[in-house]
Amino acid sequence: MLPSVHEPRITLVIRYVSWVGIVAHAVFVPVFFALELRGLALFNVLSVALWIAAKVVNDRGRCSSAMWLIFVEVVTHALLAVSSLGWSSGFQYYLIPLVPFVMFNDRLRGPVAVAASLVVLCAFAGLSAFAPETSAIARELPIRYMNMVVPFLALGLVSYYFRLASTDAERRLERMASTDPLTGLLNRRSMSARLKEEEARHLRNGAPFSLILADVDHFKRINDAHGHAAGDRVLSGVAGLLHQALRTQDAASRWGGEEFLLLLPDTDLAGAEELASRLRRDVQQSLAALRGMPEGVTLTFGVAAYARLESVDACLKAADDALYRGKAEGRDRVVSARPPS
């Protein structure tokens, strides 16, 4: 599960890491009481409260405040525990996940994140230099093994969600680069690349493919009469119908302002004509009562099948010529390109 587009990445990390902190400190409370380390036991009661507070604050949208609560608690706990029980107790390992944890918060300014990381480094170095090597109690404590496992578990969670967030960001960038932001269909550049790929496939194995150019009739009149928001609703509605009608291997793009291009692999001219006719009817029925436009919406279609001796550009021109013949003949129709001589 990833955070929403408007939710900071650190929010999800705190949401899950906080459970690790709450459980770990809750375990420490009876352990330290049993060892008669009353001060550390009471501090861990406070630690549980701080982690719960951090979770509550984080859930209310104040992720940076939650992060600082956790940061202060972890640093203070490591300093107190290692000073009391010695380096071998392993409580210094809880400092390690703090560095990626702080760096992961993209709401922090860079210098602040670096300064916080330096604080962690200084705390770790100070404990290494001045903390006692071990204590008699720590020598008998199996808890030092837990103090290795829990920090690395927290580090693993932080790294895992960083990986998820990074992968998600890359996918969003790829979608933004290849799709039209209004309709969600491929943009012209991406469709041009798909056309070249399909042409190369046809030249290798002779698989047929066809193109359909579709244009919204009287689109300027729609914008002038009802506003550009209405025009955007028309384009989005048409794009949704195209997406529903196409197969997995097909591709649809917003080719121009109100013009759409469909690529139909393994489809001859007759198959493309059938799809265009069905889309024409679907548009009439589904967009007839589009909000704010009582006159409805229609499309004109130009259809062409790729011929082996021509180029993709020539096939596109054939579909475009057919489209404009349809416009000249009265619109709201499907017109097929004349076969090449």
pLDDT digits (tens, 9 = 90+) for 274-325: 999 999 998 888 876 665 565 678 999 999 999 877 889 999 999 999 999 9
Specify whether the CB–CB gap between 269 and 305 falls below 8 A. Answer: yes
Dihedral of the CA atoms 137, 138, 140, 141 (nearest 10)? 120
What is the separation of C-alpha 155 from the centre of its chain, rounded to a whole number of angstroms?
Answer: 23
Specify whether the CB–CB gap between 258 and 217 falls below 8 A. Answer: no
Res 55: pLDDT: 93
Q: For residue 35, with 0-12 CB atoms within 10 Å meaning exposed, 13-18 middle and 19 or more buried, which class applies? A: middle
Average pLDDT over residues 99-110: 81
Specify whether the CB–CB gap between 263 and 315 falls below 8 A. Answer: no
Buried-exposed string 10-33: b where 16+ CB fall within 10 A, e elsewhere: bbbbbbebbebbbebbeebbebbe
Specify whether the CB–CB gap between 55 and 96 falls below 8 A. Answer: no
pLDDT band at 143 (very low <50, low <70, confident <90, very high): low
The conformation of residue 82, written as its DSSP 8-state character, comes to H
Q: Residue 341 pLDDT more than 60?
A: no
Per domain, the residue ranges of the chain are 9-177, 188-336
Q: Residue 1 pLDDT more than 60?
A: no
Q: Which of 78, 89, 86, 79 is nearest to 21 (CA)?
A: 78
Distance CA 340, CA 180 (A): 32
CA neighbours closer than 13 Å in the CB half-sphere of residue 19: 8
Decide: pTM greater than 0.95: no
What is the separation of C-alpha 206 from the centre of its chain, rounded to a whole number of angstroms?
Answer: 38
Q: Rg for the chain (alpha carbons), in Å?
A: 32
CATH 3.40.50.1010 fits 188-336, yes or no: no
Query: Facing residues of 262 across strands?
Result: 212, 252
Specify whether the CB–CB gap between 87 and 131 falls below 8 A. Answer: yes
Q: What is the pLDDT of residues 284-297, one digit of tens each?
A: 888 766 655 656 78
Distance CA 166, CA 199 (A): 34
Q: Residue 102 pLDDT more than 50?
A: yes
Average per-residue pLDDT for the chain: 85
Residues 6+ apart with CB under 8 A from 31: 41, 143
List the catalytic residues.
Answer: 258
Res 154: pLDDT: 72
Distances (CA, A) of 104 to 26, 96, 110, 269, 303: 26, 14, 11, 54, 51
Res 265: pLDDT: 95
Res 293: pLDDT: 60
Least confident interval from 12-16, 141-145, 185-189, 253-257: 141-145
Distance CA 153, CA 160 (A): 10
Q: For the chain, how far is it from start to end, CA to CA, in angstroms?
A: 57
Res 171: pLDDT: 72
Res 2: pLDDT: 45
Specify whether the CB–CB gap between 239 and 214 falls below 8 A. Answer: no
Res 109: pLDDT: 85
Strand 299-305 to strand 334-336: parallel, antiparallel, or no bridges (unpaired)?
parallel
